[in-house]
Every structure is written in structure tokens, then in C-alpha cells.
Amino acid sequence: MEYNFEEIEKKWQEYWRENKIYHVDIDHNKPKFYVLDMFPYPSGAGLHVGHPLGYIASDIYARYKRLKGFNVLHPMGYDAYGLPAEQYAIQTGTHPAVTTEKNINRYREQMDKIGFCYDWDREVRTSDPHYYKWTQWTFLQLFNSFYCNKCKKAQPISQLVDYLSKQGTEGLDVACTKPLSFTAKEWNAMSEREQQETLMNYRLAYLADTMVNWCPELGTVLANDEVQDGLSVRGGFPVIRKSMKQWLLRITAYAERLLQGLETLDWTESIKDVQRNWIGKSMGASVFFKVADKDIDFEVFTTRADTLFGVTFMVLAPEHEMIKELTTAAQRAAVEDYVTWAKNRSERERMSEVKKVSGVFTGSYAVNPFNGTKIPIWVSDYVLMGYGTGAIMAVPAHDSRDFAFARHFNLPIIQVVAKPGEEPSDPATWTESFDAKEGVLVNSEFLNGLTVKQAILHMIEELEKLGIGKGKTNYRLRDAIFSRQRYWGEPFPIYYKDGMPYAMDVNKLPLELPSIDAYKPTETGEPPLARAKNWVTEEGYPIETNTMPGFAGSSGYYLRYMDPHNDNEYFSREANNYWQNVDLYIGGAEHATGHLIYSRFWNKFLFDLGLACKDEPFQKMVNQGMIQGRSSIAYRVNLEKICEYAVWKRLKENKLGLTFVRDYKEGRRRFDFFCPEKGLIIEINRMGNLEKVAEPWRQYADEHGYRLLLVPIVDIINDFEQGTDYVRQRMRDFCMGKDVPALIQGEEYSGGPVFVSKNLPDIEQFSDPMLVDINIVHNDILDIHAFRDWRDDLKNARFICEKDKDGNKVFVCDWLIEKMSKSKFNVQNPDDLVAKYGADTLRLYEMFLGPLEQSKPWDTQGIEGTFRFLKKFWKLYSEISDEPATKEEMRSLHKLIKKEEEDIERISFNTVVSAFMICVNELTDMKCNKRAILEPLAIMISPYAPHIAEELWHQMGHNDSVVNQRFPEFDASNVVENTFLYPVSFNGKKRFDLELPLDMKQDDVQNAVVNAPEAKKWLEGVSIRKVIFIPKKIINIVVG
RNA sequence: GCGGAUGUGGCGUAAUUGGUAGCCGCGCCAGACUUAGGAUCUGGUUCCGUAAGGAGUAUGGGUUCGAGUCCCUUCAUCCGCACCA
């Protein structure tokens, strides 16, 4: 019987669906295992072969764990809110829900064909009111919470209100936007509005004026991770900085926990590093400097308190609020000019001009608290308002940016750290700063002689003693902007009373997204929701018109999967206690600073509320690599270039007995080819052009006594294609002085574009690469007919072919590894491959390609190999025998059991596929058809190729699903051997193999080796110095 | 600039703790069967050499009986971050 994958796959996909084979429920008799794929956004383009890579890996893992006796939660759903559907809505008026639904159906169809074991009963969509009810609910909890730094967790805001009314801010240690100070009396005297405003300083979801990334083209603000190089990640539109009232999440309150939590996670170091970097913890000191002759001071943050004696100037960010106060009358105009200029620069300009030094002196001086030195205070945009205090103490000797600034404005430089064991030198001679993290302090009074580390600690002590500074930790992480001026997102359950936001009642949730007439901002620039009719509460208060960002819905989705249909709570305690958190999370590394940080934050908050039982959502994570495309390239001939080149090749080799010069210039004229000796001009061009110039050129030639030959490119091309010699003959005659007409009128070249095969010599000189659809290229050979049909302009394409080994004319394409994308015509669609080879082949091949985490190109040919393997595998099962298996057969099987177990556990799927191939090759060679081998083998391959496994399982007489079987037990006794084929090396170089019993003693081994006939040659004339014998590994004889 | 990762045949890769470098597959070569092959099967395939043999895991060095693997150097490619004080 043939391996009919089409029929088999359809049959079993239906069987699994009808029998709900992949449905899971809480089962306290089994250990749980939670395998999750990163939430996909269903884009209109559908899946290409890169997308299912991670899904196949997680599917294999889930199926394997199930065979191992785990109760496996393996759900899938959709991150259904997103910009593309909304952009499309703006352009076409189609409701984004319609577009999204369509895309989801397409995704689902594609996924179903691959045979995943998702429990689709648990599907969630972020745009479903039953789902976003809980997104809104969580937002309200955030709104009604603050973060207590002492107990290191979120607490209800009512607790804070209580505290403030009793003690004011006295002794308060909570996360806030800026430290406030008031008494209980003052608090109690505040109006409700004032109190609400004050609470915004503490809420975990709060409304504030902030500098945001405003994207005018998209009409919305973007989060930091949605902006790259000053452009929006989606769409690539310019982004500017703008101050707006926005909702924010106080993720910074969790900075330390987000950082510490990384230590407990089984993630790659590189992702952890990206997150550490993003959180950007730095420990240093805040120091207050007095301003000379004024009764004010200002605060700087530094990680290098030890270098305080090396401070020669101060720098404030252009946005710093004390600039006005500090600017002297004489400097006012200059400072104002500079600040205006700096503020108006776009993010992009700033980023591209990082190296340019600019700044202005305020006219004021700070005072060094230890030696009274007056230090000039400058303003420069190399200091950022958003980090630390927006002011720095500059130590040019030991900071490269300060150094550049000091050199540019001729400010003094004082060395305060010397390299260990070296004397200080004159900084005037330096070409760069010495950014010393290690060294010994000099020129620093009481710090002299201390190491950098000691000096930092000592200085902080001194600062604290004087009450002008203290040790401080700073984070780079910013609060997450949570408002989007968009339609397609979760509405905020917030209404406004007296312009102050209030939380809606929880039992009003979900607050459903209203329908509107158009999806763009209003004429007055308000968000699209402002178009909604009656967008007010029952009491008539206006409802918030912003919507939530993409990461709102995707931050807690893994929890909802545990109990997806619960309308009374986010998820039940029972479900959460059973499923806990994700054991294996598979997805791309590109979410490192977005989703993966937001959802950790979201989870920690829910943990604080007592909802989530685990502090971290994703225990182990694997980031799959990208599948790159392999683009095909046809070289398109530049007609004039190639014809000139072809002629030049003949001329320069002097084959016509004359010396020609290429591109010869005479006065204002330029000849393609010129022979000064005989005054011959050869010009090559299109017929039309030649006709135009023929007359004046003829005159010119006559005047100078030259002879002229005008060669139309059409003639040369005809020679190429038809293998004729017309042009060559004409040139020869011309050179030999025969009477050749300068121009023979003829047809203009009217053929289509000309392409030239890859391996023809020198094609880089006269052709330009053009990307070709990979579907019309097989094994780098272009299908010429399909190519001509591909596009209208190629209908008349001509080809200069090369010959293959059999002498057939073929057109060979070049190739290039790059991103898989529609525009590069290199997209492999999984549907096509499933149709051609079946899902099992696709699954195996995607895994076989290489390590999951590595990026690798998609080789369109390679899939044949796994297809052949499955056919070979299928053949093993043609007649099943109940005879007992032989020792060799058992060995082969158990080798595979061990390999598969070990390799799946370490996420090495490619090597397992390879092990399957080895085993099947061995069994085929042994002509094995034993049930005792083939039954366990079918179970073992089922995670990888579930359809063929299920079919063969049933063919062997079973009525239950292969999915519900147990993975075979490895029995080491099947693989023990009593002899070993030792590689015998002399001086570390392997010379021959020798089979020896495993229990042989070293002396006997040595004897056996020395007496082996092959050894003789290597022992002649030398003596044995040493024998290295490692049982079951190697024998190495050291001779000399 | 800082941080991370990766460099092995024509290509994707393998070599779990230092122990036979190149498993498995693609491609290629030869053969078989075929009216035919982008079908199937068999054999071969790191490079140089007829062979014996030699060289060989980006580069140069080191440790070791033995290094793709450990240490140092340099180079290349990719990714992330970037006036972060």
C-alpha cells in the first residue's frame, strides 16, 4: 500500500476533532505540564514556514510530555487587537473586527492542516468582551492600588488614603511619580479633586502629563519598544516627542523585582541581559551641590562618587527646571536660544548627531562641598532629563562624553584615578578619557590611595555625614504609557467627573467597544472613540476616549487559558493552583523588551493581589530562530553594456590585428572604441540612437579622415542567440579596410529583456541582479516558460543559457539568503508544502533543519529527504510479524528511545529526527517487521509525525489513539555490548580500529594492540613511552 | 562604544562530560531499472594525492598523551542596547 498522506491526514484530523482527543481538564491524578506558544497576531499575510517552527516544536514537546504521563495544557488563541487591521479600517471603512475574524479563520485553517494538538476549547481572543472584561478588570485593580516599598508589594489604595489621613506623608515609603510632603491635616483639608490629583502620584495606573512618542501618521502615541531609530516599528513613520496627558502603568515600582526575578528563570542569558539592560539598574549616589552666591542647590546622580574631586563642570539637561533660576542676565539670551534649539530637535536628529558636542554656559557656579572650588554650570543635550535627575557632575578625565565636552569648550581636566601601578600624567596630553572602573585615587584629599570601589563607599559615607548626599539606586526603566489614540483596543472603564478620572464599577464590565462611523481621529484631533454616540455613563459622565495598547490583552492571557470561560472571575483559584504557570514558553526573541517584561509585571501584580500563585509567568523559555528565505536571482542584462563588453572582448585581445582604445575622448566627442593607428571608430548603440547620430558622425569622420562603423545592438544580440557571426565578420572587414557601410539600417531591437545564466563569465560586468519567484526555480534552474508567464513585462524575455553536463541548455539562477518576505518572492507557504508532501513531512523537516534557536535558511530541496524518510518508514509496516525481535533490532530501538528522551528534554529536535532516520535505516537493512519493535516505534514518532503514527497504530489493530499511549521505557540491557571497537592512536593520531572485550585489563589491551598486525608499521624504530587506555573510549600509544 | 551569540565539506548540520571530526539529510558523481524522469533503488562523496600518506573545525598561540570542545589573541558575521551619568 502506498503512503497516501493526503487521505491519512484528513482522516485523523477529523478523528481527533470528533473524539476531542486534545481536550484537557484538571486531573489531580496526573502531574500538570503547561506548554505555550507566544500569542500570534493574525496578520493578513497568513503563515509562512517560519511561523509554525515554534508551534511545531511546542507541539512535539506537548505530545511527548503527554506520552510521558503528564496532563498537558497546550492552548492557542489570538492577540486580536492590532494596528494593521485598524489601518486597513481607516483606509477602507471595513470594521477591524471583520478583517480580524477573516485573518483568524485563515490562520486557523493553516494551523489545522499541520496537525497541532491544541485544546481549541480554550481558545481566547483579546478582542472578545468575555476576555477583555478581565483586561479592564485588571486595569481597575491597578488604578486602585499603590506599591509599598517596605512590604515590596501592591496594596489597595484605600490603605494609602487611610495612612495619609492619619499621618500625611510622614514615614511614607511607596512608589510615586515625585516625592510629596504634606501633613495629615493638609490632606484632610484638601478638596476631593485635590485628593484625587494627589493620589495620581501613587496609583499603579495613573494619568499624567508625560513626554510621549507621538506618531502623527498613525495618530497615536507609541511605547518605547514600539519605536526604533525615531521611527515607528509598524509602518516606519516618524515619531516626535510631545507632552500629552496619558495613562501610565507604574512598572518602575516593580523594577527591582523584575530584575531579581530573572535569576530564577530558565531563559537564555541573552534575553535576560536584554531585560537587565532595559531595566538598567545602576547604584550610585545622589549629591546636592550648592550654587555659589545663591541660596539654592541642585541634585545630581552619579555612579562615581569617588571622582568628586575631578569635577570641573556641571551639566543640566535642556529641560531642567532650574535653568531659568541659574542663568545670569549676561547669559540669558544665549541659554534661551540653546534651550529652544535643543527642544525642537527631533529624536532622529538627536540620535544621528550623538557625536556633535553642543552646550551653553549658564553663568552660575556650583561649589565643591569639600574644597570650595567653583564649578561652572552648563546646559547641554547630552544630558537627558529622563534619567537620574537630569543633571550631572562632569568628570572629564574619566568619562568620554565629559571629556569631549571639556575639550570642545576648553574646560579644565583633572585626573583623580590612576591606573594601578602607574603615575598620574598630565591630562592635557591625553587624546581620550580614562574611563577607569579600576584604579587608585589621586588628587583627592582623603580618598588618595584608595581603590575605586573603596573610594565610592567612603565618599558616600562622607556625603551622608555632611547631609548633602546619599547612596541611591537608579533605574533606566520608564513607566509604561498605556493610552493609545486608537479605536481598535480595549476601552478604559474610566469616566470623568470635574475633569478627574474615576473607576467604573466592576459589575459594569465589560465596557464594550462602541461602534463608530469612521475609524480615524475627530476633526479636533480627539481619538476615534470621541465619535461614539452616547459615550457617557448612565449618570451622563463622559467616558475615557483612549483605548489600551496591544500589550494590555497579551499580558495575562496565559492565565486566562487555565479557565477561559469563567465569567465570574479572571480564572478560578482551583485552575490556577493546578496549572500554576507556564513550564515551557516558545516564541521569538523580539518580545524581550515588550511583551516579556509587561506580562512579568502584570503577573507580579496579580500575584500581589493573591490571584496568581506564581510570581513569574514563564519558567522556561526557548526562543526560536528565524527562518530565512533563499531568494533566487536572475541576472538581467544591461543591453548596451553587454554588447559593448562583447565587442571589447574581441578588440582588446587584438584579434583583428589592431589596437583599440575604449571610451576614447577627442574634444567633446567620445567614441566607444577607437583605433588611433588607422583612425577607426566603432560605436555601439540602439538602432534609433545610431540613426540620430549617423549623419553628424559621418561628417566628423570625414573631416578628420576617420572611418566609422556603427553597430546596432540588435545585431550583436542576434549573433548571441542564433550563434551567427554577422557582427564579427563585419568588424573584421572593417578593420581590414574593406568597404563596409557605416550603418546598415534594420529593425530596432524589440525583444523583451535579456537574462544571462549565472555561470557565464564576467556577467557582473554587464548585468544587474533581479529577484525571481522561487516557485519557478527548481534546483537553481529557471523554468523559462513559467518565468515568461510570471509578469507581463517578461513575456518576451530572452535568455542566454549555459550548458549542463549533458549538453542541455539551461538557465541557472544565483541565490541569496535574506529575510523571508513577499517582496523578495522567496516565501514558502506551509499550505503548499502540506499539499505536496503532507503535514508530517513538513513537521519533520522544519525540525530537521537545525537547532530550534538558530536562524537558518529554508532550503526548498531538502524537504524531499524527510519525505523519502517517511515513505521508508511507512514501508517497514507493510507486513507485521509477531515473532520476537532480535537482539540487534532491540538495540536499534532502545538506542533511539534513549536518544529521543534525552534530546527532547534539551530541546534538540533536529538530532531526534536524524536518530529516527538512523534507526529506520538500520531496521530496513535488517528487514525488521516485528510488532515488538514497530509498535513502540509508532508511539515514539507520534509527537513528530502524528498522522502517520496514528494510521499505523490503527493498522496494527488498535482502536484507541496513539496519543493516549505511554512512551516506551528505556532498558539499558538491550544496548550493552561485551566488546568495543577501539580506535587505536599513535601520538594522538588514529591509525586503525581494534575490537576488544570490554572487560579486558590494561596490560592485556596493551599486548593485544602491540601484537596487532597493523601496529607493526607504527612501532618500527621507535619505543613505546606510554599507553593511554580509556575503557570504552580510546587507546592512545605515545611513541618516540 | 558596550553587551550577547555564532564561525566545522558545495549547502543545512552532527560530535551530551576533552577521547575515531564530518553522523543524518540536501546537492553532486557513478551505476541499476526504465519509452521517459524533478520517480525508485544501489554505491560513492572534507581537501590534496594513482597510492602509501598528508592536511584539515575562521586566525595565531597555549594547556594536554589527546582540543571542534578548555584558556589567551586576532579577524569575520549576526543580534540587542546606546550621550543612561
Evaluate if residue A794 carries a pLDDT over 90.
Answer: no
Cβ A58 vs Cβ A36: under 8 Å: yes
Distance, CA of A278 to C1' of B68, in Å: 35
> Could you say which nucleotides of strand B lie within 7 A of any protein CB atom?
3-5, 11-16, 19-21, 23-30, 38-41, 53-55, 65-67, 78-81, 83-85
Longest dimension (CA), chain A: 115
Cβ A377 vs Cβ A296: under 8 Å: no
Identify the helix (H) or strand (E) that includes residue A158: helix A157-167
- Reading the block at residue A406, the C-alpha cell is 571639556
CA angle A873, A876, A877 (to 5 degrees): 105
* A742 and A685 fall within a common domain: yes
Domain assignment present for residue A420? The answer is yes
Residues 849-868 on chain A lying near strand B, CB distance under 7 A: 849-851, 854-857, 859, 861-862, 864-866, 868
Average pLDDT estimate for A770-782: 81
**CA of residue A213 relative to chain centroid, distance:** 21
Q: Which of A549, A579, A594 is the last residue of a domain?
A: A549
Query: Residue A351 — very low, low, confident or very high, per pLDDT cuts 50/70/90?
Result: low
Name the closest nucleotide to A399, judged by C1' and CA. Answer: B85
Average pLDDT estimate for A963-969: 95
Is any atom of nucleic acid chain B found less than 7 Å from the CB of residue A848?
yes
Distance CA A733, CA A658 (A): 13
Distance CA A960, CA A51 (A): 32
Distance CA A136, CA A511 (A): 8
Domain assignment present for residue A852? The answer is no
Cβ A527 vs Cβ A546: under 8 Å: yes
CA distance to A298, A326, A453, A844, A898, per residue, from A286 (Å) = 10, 20, 17, 58, 58
CA distance to A150, A256, A288, A378, A852, per residue, from A393 (Å) = 31, 26, 10, 10, 48
Is pLDDT larger for residue A267 or for residue A821?
A267
Q: What does the pLDDT read at residue A263?
A: 87
Any idea what the CATH number is for the domain that residue A415 is in?
3.90.740.10
Distance, CA of A1012 to C1' of B62, in Å: 35
Q: What is the secondary structure of A725-760 as a DSSP string?
A: -HHHHHHHHHHTT----S----PPP----EEE-TTS
* A326 and A437 fall within a common domain: yes
Distance, CA of A41 to C1' of B74, in Å: 44
* A944 and A1031 fall within a common domain: no
Which residues touch A260 (CB under 8 Å, ≥6 apart)? Answer: none
Domain assignment present for residue A1015? The answer is yes
Query: Residue A806 — very low, low, confident or very high, per pLDDT cuts 50/70/90?
Result: low
Is any atom of nucleic acid chain B found less than 7 Å from the CB of residue A914?
yes
Q: What does the pLDDT read at residue A110?
A: 92
- Cis peptide bond upstream of A696, omega within 30: no
Task: Please write the tens of the pLDDT for every residue from A37-89.
Answer: 999 999 888 888 888 899 999 999 999 999 999 999 999 999 999 888 988 88
Average pLDDT estimate for A162-168: 94
3-state secondary structure of A14: helix
Provide the b/e sequence for A65-85 (b: ≥16 CB within 10 Å): bbbeebbbbbbbbbbbbbbbb
Average pLDDT estimate for A867-878: 92
Average pLDDT estimate for A696-714: 84
Backbone region of residue A539 per phi and psi (left: phi > 0; alpha: psi in -120 to 50; beta: other values): alpha
Average pLDDT estimate for A95-103: 94
Q: What does the pLDDT read at residue A643?
A: 80
Distance CA A814, CA A212 (A): 46
Distance, CA of A1021 to C1' of B52, in Å: 18
In total, how many domains does chain A have?
6
Any idea what the CATH number is for the domain that residue A42 is in?
3.40.50.620
* A639 and A734 fall within a common domain: yes
Evaluate if residue A569 carries a pLDDT over 90.
Answer: yes
Any idea what the CATH number is for the domain that residue A1012 is in?
3.10.20.590
Name the closest nucleotide to A1025, judged by C1' and CA. Answer: B65
Q: What percentage of chain A exceeds 90 in pLDDT? A: 44
Domain assignment present for residue A1? The answer is no
Q: Which domain holds residue A486?
A: 139-255+265-276+479-549
Distance, CA of A419 to C1' of B85, in Å: 21
Nearest to A380 by CA among A439, A319, A466: A319
Instruction: For cell 550548458, name the residue.
Output: A803
Distance CA A84, CA A40 (A): 14
Is pLDDT larger for residue A243 or for residue A25?
A25
Distance CA A785, CA A403 (A): 66
Average pLDDT estimate for A926-955: 94
Q: What are the start-end ranges of the E strands in A4-44?
A: 32-37
Domain assignment present for residue A795? The answer is yes
Task: Please write the tens of the pLDDT for every residue from A816-871.
Answer: 777 777 778 888 888 889 999 999 999 999 999 989 988 888 888 889 999 999 99
Q: Which of A627, A656, A679 is the last residue of a domain?
A: A627
Is any atom of nucleic acid chain B found less than 7 Å from the CB of residue A921?
yes
Q: What does the pLDDT read at residue A346?
A: 59
* A18 and A72 fall within a common domain: yes
Nearest to A198 by CA among A221, A174, A171, A216: A174
Instruction: For cell 478620572, name the residue.
Output: A501
Distance, CA of A975 to C1' of B67, in Å: 29
Nearest to A433 by CA among A443, A441, A425: A425
CA angle A67, A68, A70 (to 5 degrees): 95
Is any atom of nucleic acid chain B found less than 7 Å from the CB of residue A522?
no
CA distance to A88, A149, A289, A975, per residue, from A979 (Å) = 70, 66, 80, 12
* A645 and A776 fall within a common domain: yes
Average pLDDT estimate for A663-673: 79
Is any atom of nucleic acid chain B found less than 7 Å from the CB of residue A354?
yes
Distance, CA of A878 to C1' of B33, in Å: 23
3-state secondary structure of A797: coil
Q: What does the pLDDT read at residue A55?
A: 94
CA distance to A649, A902, A975, A980, A995, per residue, from A1032 (Å) = 65, 21, 14, 6, 11
Q: Which of A246-260, A528-542, A794-808 has the lowest mean pLDDT?
A: A794-808
Distance, CA of A590 to C1' of B76, in Å: 25
When mean pLDDT is compared over A284-298, A324-338, A877-891, A939-953, the highest value belongs to A939-953
- Reading the block at residue A242, the C-alpha cell is 510631545
Domain assignment present for residue A331? The answer is yes
Distance, CA of A846 to C1' of B42, in Å: 29
Query: Residue A353 — very low, low, confident or very high, per pLDDT cuts 50/70/90?
Result: low
Identify the helix (H) or strand (E) that includes residue A146: strand A145-148
Task: Please write the tens of the pLDDT for every residue from A1021-1030.
Answer: 777 888 888 8
Query: Residue A701 — very low, low, confident or very high, per pLDDT cuts 50/70/90?
Result: confident
Is pLDDT larger for residue A725 or for residue A865?
A865
Provide the b/e sequence for A155-187 (b: ≥16 CB within 10 Å): bebeebbebbeeebbeebebbbbeeeeeeeeeb
Any idea what the CATH number is for the domain that residue A876 is in?
1.10.730.10
Q: What does the pLDDT read at residue A419?
A: 78
Q: Which of A568, A596, A627 is the last residue of a domain?
A: A627
CA angle A657, A660, A666 (to 5 degrees): 145
- Cis peptide bond upstream of A510, omega within 30: yes
Cβ A160 vs Cβ A206: under 8 Å: no
Instruction: For cell 510622614, name the residue.
Output: A170
Is any atom of nucleic acid chain B found less than 7 Å from the CB of residue A473?
no
Name the closest nucleotide to A902, judged by C1' and CA. Answer: B16
Average pLDDT estimate for A612-617: 95
Q: What does the pLDDT read at residue A562?
A: 97
Is pLDDT larger for residue A229 or for residue A299?
A299
Q: What does the pLDDT read at residue A400?
A: 84
* A110 and A166 fall within a common domain: no
* A249 and A288 fall within a common domain: no
Task: Please write the tens of the pLDDT for every residue from A575-600.
Answer: 999 999 999 999 988 888 889 999 99
* A558 and A603 fall within a common domain: yes
Domain assignment present for residue A740? The answer is yes
- Closest protein residue to B5 (Cα–C1'): A270
* A337 and A445 fall within a common domain: yes
* Total residues belonging to chain A: 1040
Evaluate if residue A963 carries a pLDDT over 80.
Answer: yes
Name the closest nucleotide to A991, judged by C1' and CA. Answer: B20
Q: What does the pLDDT read at residue A720?
A: 72
Distance CA A1032, CA A983 (A): 10
Domain assignment present for residue A828? The answer is no
Is any atom of nucleic acid chain B found less than 7 Å from the CB of residue A228?
yes
Distance, CA of A193 to C1' of B60, in Å: 73
Is any atom of nucleic acid chain B found less than 7 Å from the CB of residue A284?
yes
Note the ipTM here.
Answer: 0.93
* A32 and A160 fall within a common domain: no
- Reading the block at residue A297, the C-alpha cell is 542647590
DSSP state of A582: E
Distance, CA of A60 to C1' of B5, in Å: 26
Distance, CA of A232 to C1' of B4, in Å: 25
Distance CA A319, CA A879 (A): 81
Long-range contact pairs involving A168-173 (C-beta distance under 8 Å, separation at least 24): A173/A148, A173/A149
- Reading the block at residue A897, the C-alpha cell is 528511545
* A633 and A782 fall within a common domain: yes
